[in-house]
Amino acid sequence: AQSVTQLDSQVPVFEEAPVELRCNYSSSVSVYLFWYVQYPNQGLQLLLKYLSGSTLVKGINGFEAEFNKSQTSFHLRKPSVHISDTAEYFCAVSDNTGFQKLVFGTGTRLLVSP
C-alpha cells in the first residue's frame, strides 16, 4: 500500500517569493506521482505528474517538481508566487498496477499575501 505525507498543513508566503511544498511518499512498488491544486469551491486540477524519465517535471502555472527516489520525495516548487496561487495543494501517488487509484496526502494550504 502507498501513503503520502505532506508535513506542512499551511505555508504562508509573500507575493513574488519562492515557495517549496514538501511531499514524501511510501510504497513497496514503483509509483507515479502527481500534484493537484484545489481552488476554493472547485474540483482538483492537475498541476504536473511524474511517470518516468527526467526527474524534474514542469507543470502549469510555472510550477515544477523534482522526483527523488532515494529520499522518496516529490517536492513542488515555484520561483515566484502570485496572489492567485493561493489554494490547497495535494500530492498524490498511484502504483503502476491495478486501476490507478490515487492516494492523496492531507494537503498544504498555500497562502500568498501582498
Partner 1 sequence: EPEVTQTPSHQVTQMGQEVILRCVPISNHLYFYWYRQILGQKVEFLVSFYNNEISEKSEIFDDQFSVERPDGSNFTLKIRSTKLEDSAMYFCASSIWREGDEQYFGPGTRLTVT
User: Which positions touch partner 1 (CB under 8 A)?
Assistant: 32, 34, 36, 41-46, 49, 51, 90, 92, 94, 96, 98-107
Closest to partner 1 by CB, 82 vs 101, is 101
CB of 76 to partner 1, least distance (A): 16
Q: Which is nearer to partner 1, 7 or 51 (CB)?
A: 51
Task: Judge whether 75 and 67 are in contact, CB under 8 Å.
Answer: no
Q: How far is the CB of 67 from partner 1 (least distance, A)?
A: 13
- What's the min distance (Å) between Cβ of 69 and partner 1? 16
Nearer to partner 1, 85 or 105 (CB): 105
Which residues, including other chains, have CB under 8 Å from residue 44's CB and lie 6 or more apart? 36, 37, 38, 90
Residue 78 vs 105, nearer CB to partner 1: 105
Contact 38, 46 (CB under 8 A): no
Alpha helices of the chain — where are they, by DSSP H?
A: none
Instruction: Give min distance, CB of 13 to partner 1, in A.
Output: 22
User: Cell for 73?
Assistant: 520525495
CA 53 to chain centre: 18
Label residue 22 exposed, middle or buried (CB < 10 Å: 0-12, 13-18, 19+).
middle
